[in-house]
């Protein structure tokens, strides 16, 4: 399990963060200069150079969002202008994209971050520009919410696999519905029926908490507190749940660690958002106390599982049931080895999960649970400390990624195995790099005593 450093403070990471942002600037510039933009979105690296993969364009917002985060962290205006220009030129199709579950990734990372900077007064207030960003978020939230499957006890936004498929990843895309709702928007369906986007987002969150997260309550033979299933499969004829499954993990009965990390981060940031809403708004769905309870249970369980089933330095292997993990011996009692001969680690899961740990810890401390909150907070800082150092921080100027040892799709064999290695390693992903930057910005803002960083800071 993670060897939590109970003494480390955000200020202790200041020099590491300064080096991180310096390297980050070099990587963003290298991609801008060297990547062939006509080939689609950069997805992951092969031998240190970004390549694309024709599945969906779910990483494009991370590419341009990285430039916006770089400006936020350093004040370098060139990165802001690049992020704004590319958002304007390229991101419009993502607003109206009906075929994916990724709106909360692509559009919050671009339009959302730009609007947030304006609201935070980090960039000048321009009314038409503000309206432009708000309109994009409003429409994106409604389009995402229209991708809907009803089940016996609610419903969910289905994955690109089809109406039967609930992905755990999508808990982090719920935030686009929440922003659209808070900006005063609704989804209008047949006969002008108005759909409350807050209610729909909460329905999706409840389905994810009920079916994607396990609680050790005897659901099946592999029911362990906090483990997650990547995909939950439903019979669309009668709305009944059928079974767990996995697309990028090993099996439906093991835990793909990036899916686990999406749950950790997604539920924790929803707790923060909902804490700012009135009880009257929440009552459109149900009891505010019950809403917080199921969100907190899911966030706590998934974070507990991560801490217990991750090596001591906070970097997980790609799946907790990966078939050759046993060949590594007692791998949970030592730091992860990205260069081992049997199973890859996934640093992108660490970058995403660390933010979930920090947000949950912060939330609990604000709620008066100081000791419990400190555990998660210190665990998050412990993971970040590891990510800010080699072999995870990319210091090679010829490598375009900032976070090394990210895994995309181990079952499909999409990840590069470098010459001389037996497993995929030493590569980066656009989502891993973006979330490493988001994590770094989160902690840097605390060090600098800037406003606490949330996705909903973009709301006036």
Q: What CA–CA distance (Å, rounded) separates 232 from 240?
A: 11
Q: Is residue 438 a contact partner of residue 452, using CB atoms and an 8 Å limit?
A: no
CA angle 310-314-317, nearest 5°?
Answer: 50
pLDDT in tens, 133-183: 999 999 999 999 999 999 999 999 999 999 999 999 999 999 999 999 999
pLDDT of residue 308: 98
Phi, psi angle pair for 189, to nearest 5°: -105, -160
Strand partners, 49: 46
Phi, psi of 243 (to 5 degrees): -170, 160
Q: Are 74 and 104 in contact (CB under 8 A)?
A: no
Q: What is the pLDDT of residue 329?
A: 97
- SS3 call for 278: coil
Model confidence, pTM: 0.98
Regarding beta strands 165-167 and 154-157, do their DSSP bridges make them parallel or antiparallel, or are they unpaired? unpaired
pLDDT value of residue 115 = 98
Q: Where is 443: in which H helix or E strand? A: helix 430-447
Q: What was the pLDDT predicted at 38?
A: 81
> Residue 188 has what pLDDT?
97
Q: Which residues, 6 or more positions from 138, have their beta carbon under 8 angstroms from its beta carbon?
A: 180, 183, 184, 185
Would you say 140 and 180 are in contact if contact means Cβ atoms under 8 Å apart?
A: yes
Quote the pLDDT of residue 57. Answer: 83
The encoded tokens of residue 249 equal 């993990």
pLDDT at 53: 82
CB 245 within 8 A of CB 174: no
CB atoms within 10 A of CB 446: 17
Q: Match 């207030």 to its residue by tokens.
A: 125
| DSSP H or E run through 240 | strand 240-245
CB atoms within 10 A of CB 140: 28
Counting as low any pLDDT under 70, the low residues of the chain are 54
Give the three-state DSSP class for 3.
coil
C-beta of residue 351 within 8 angstroms of C-beta of residue 439: yes
Coil, helix or strand for 242? strand
- Among 93, 87, 126, smallest CA distance to 109 is for 87
Residues 6+ apart with CB under 8 A from 56: 99, 100, 102, 160
Length of the chain: 460
Task: Look at the domain 10-458 and name its fold.
Answer: Glycosyltransferase (1.50.10)
Spell out the domain ranges in the chain. 10-458
- Measured distance CA(197)–CA(330) in Å, rounded: 46
For 171-228, the pLDDT digits (tens) are 999 999 999 999 999 999 999 999 999 999 999 999 999 999 999 999 999 999 999 9
Burial 110-139 (b: 16+ CB within 10 A, else e): bbbbbbbbbbeeebeeeeebbeebbebbbb
192 neighbors 239 (Cβ within 8 angstroms): no
* 391 upstream amide cis, omega within 30 of 0: yes
Q: Which of 356, 387, 174 is nearest to 262 (CA)?
A: 356
Structure-block tokens of residue 361 = 């810890």
d(CA 316, CA 354) in angstroms, rounded, equals: 11
Distance CA 241, CA 233 (A): 6
Cβ-contact 457, 442 below 8 angstroms: no
Give Cα 18 to chain centroid, integer Å: 23
The strand pairing partners of 167, in sequence order, are 231
Question: Is the Cα torsion angle 263, 264, 269, 275 positive or negative in sign?
Answer: positive
């Amino acid at each position: 399990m993670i060897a939590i450093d109970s003494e480390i403070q955000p200020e202790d990471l200041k020099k590491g963060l300064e080096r991180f942002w310096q390297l980050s600037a070099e990587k963003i510039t290298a991609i801008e200069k060297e990547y062939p933009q006509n080939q689609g979105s950069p997805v992951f690296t092969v031998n240190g150079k970004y390549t694309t993969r024709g599945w969906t364009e779910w990483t494009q917002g991370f590419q341009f969002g990285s430039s916006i985060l770089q400006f936020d962290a350093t004040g370098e205006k060139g990165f802001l202008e690049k992020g704004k220009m590319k958002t304007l030129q390229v991101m419009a199709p993502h607003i109206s994209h009906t075929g994916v579950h990724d709106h909360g990734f692509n559009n919050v990372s671009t339009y959302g971050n730009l609007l947030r900077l304006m609201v935070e007064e980090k960039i000048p207030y321009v009314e038409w520009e503000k309206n432009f960003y708000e309109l994009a978020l409003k429409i994106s939230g409604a389009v995402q919410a229209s991708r809907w499957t009803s089940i016996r006890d609610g419903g969910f936004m289905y994955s690109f696999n089809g109406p039967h498929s609930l992905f755990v990843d999508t808990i982090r895309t719920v935030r686009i519905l929440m922003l659209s709702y808070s900006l005063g928007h609704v989804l209008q369906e047949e006969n002008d029926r108005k759909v409350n986007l807050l209610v729909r987002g909460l329905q999706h969150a409840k389905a994810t908490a009920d079916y994607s997260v396990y609680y050790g309550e005897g659901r099946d033979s592999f029911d362990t507190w906090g483990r997650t299933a990547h995909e939950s499969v439903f019979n669309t004829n009668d709305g009944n749940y059928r079974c767990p499954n996995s697309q990028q993990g090993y099996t439906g009965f093991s835990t793909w660690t990036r899916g686990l990390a999406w749950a950790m981060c997604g539920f924790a940031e929803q707790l923060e958002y909902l804490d700012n809403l009135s009880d009257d708004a929440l009552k459109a769905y149900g009891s505010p106390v019950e809403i917080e309870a199921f969100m907190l249970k899911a966030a706590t369980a998934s974070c507990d599982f991560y801490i217990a089933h991750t090596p001591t330095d906070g970097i997980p292997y790609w799946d907790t049931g990966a078939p050759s993990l046993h060949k590594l011996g007692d791998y949970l009692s030592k730091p992860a080895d990205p260069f081992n001969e049997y199973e890859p680690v996934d640093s992108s899961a660490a970058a995403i999960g660390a933010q979930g740990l920090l947000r949950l810890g912060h939330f609990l401390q604000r709620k008066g649970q100081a000791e419990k909150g400190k555990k998660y907070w210190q665990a998050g800082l412990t993971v970040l400390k590891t990510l800010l150092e080699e072999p995870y921080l990319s210091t090679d100027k010829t490598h375009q990624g900032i976070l090394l040892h990210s895994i995309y799709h181990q079952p499909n064999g999409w990840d590069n195995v470098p010459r001389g290695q037996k497993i995929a390693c030493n590569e980066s992903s656009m989502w891993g790099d973006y979330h490493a930057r988001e994590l770094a910005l989160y902690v840097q803002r605390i060090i600098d005593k800037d406003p606490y960083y949330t996705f909903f800071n973009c709301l006036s």
